[in-house]
Homo-oligomer: A and B are copies of this chain.
Amino acid sequence: MKVLVIGAAGMIGRKLTARIAADEAIGGTPVSDLVLADVVAPSATEGPIPADTIAADLSRPGVAESLIAGRPNLIFHLAAIVSGEAEADFDKGYTINLDGTRFLLEAIRRAHIEDGYVPRLVFTSSIAVFGAPFPEEIGDEFHLTPLTSYGTQKAVGELLLADYSRRGFLDGVGIRLPTIAIRPDKPNKAASGFFSGIIREPLMGEEAVLPVADTVRHWFASPRAAVGFLLHAAAMETSSLGARRSLTMPGVAATVAEEIEALRRAAGDKAVALIRREPDETIARIVAGWPQTFKAERATALGFTADRDFDEIVATHIADELGD
């Protein structure tokens, strides 16, 4: 099986490709060939699978065609401008998150017309497709009313993925990722960065800023769980999806207070004391529009599995990022 990863240089992309390179297979099917693309050339993977790394901007016409020239059987489309940046730069967000996705879908459709090509396409969407007001728990049939341009672009991507799948041009699965915690790297421009920061920095003996109230509840998955979702979406049977190709991933619902208690159990009061409360009205207002808890019954029934609780999310971070 030939695999293409678009957005391979990002945090999830790197973890995904490292896992594929280590496993040498996805869902029991050996991977013969790996193409890793991003706007900056991704690092090569270690291991026996031959891997090409390509610097390519999907939002430029013709690039999608060249990326699928080798007719990968499986494509992960992870490339995106994050929410904060897509909000700050309207044109850039639409160009990359919407046009880029559409160029990819169109390149696949033209290849389908040419030679019957029908790849599995795993598209990373986000819970940012949802916007307040919400019911207490958000079910699988709740409408998408994004409150950011990023969420809008992801919701449009979901609609296109479903239509192109229904038409038989590709076999798409969209996965709505929870907020990823703990992010191992320094905060990107996402307003959600503090959810990771208040765990990551104290574990390193550094101060972290908490801009919102302890009562804020949100929906999380570890990077390891996110990679698990992607691989499951790549290998799953899709006939039961019908025309509804995008799924809210299961996650862990936790308040900031619960995050802090998980940190205390893992690293003690000294670590917790490094969290400095510094209310930020802008961030608080953005976060107030975010979903808190989902049912995610469909994805769970289809075999996607979340972290058990926030303690496991912290333990995963310590095991994967901090050695011991």
Contact = CB atoms under 8 A, between A and B. Distances in A.
A29 to B, nearest CB: 30
A162 to B, nearest CB: 7
A284 B37 CA distance: 45
Contacts of A163: 146, 149, 152
Interface residues of A, number: 23
A63 to B, nearest CB: 20
Contacts of A162: 145-146, 152
Interface stretch (A48-56, A136-144, A257-265): A136-144
Contact of A243 (B131, B167, B244): B131
A141 B142 contact: yes
A149 B131 contact: no
Interface of A: 90, 109, 131, 135, 141-147, 149, 152, 155-156, 159-160, 162-163, 166-167, 243-244
27 contacts: A90-B109, A90-B167, A131-B243, A135-B141, A141-B142, A141-B143, A142-B143, A143-B143, A143-B144, A144-B144, A144-B159, A145-B243, A145-B244, A146-B159, A146-B162, A146-B163, A147-B166, A147-B243, A149-B167, A152-B159, A152-B160, A152-B163, A155-B159, A156-B156, A156-B159, A156-B160, A159-B159
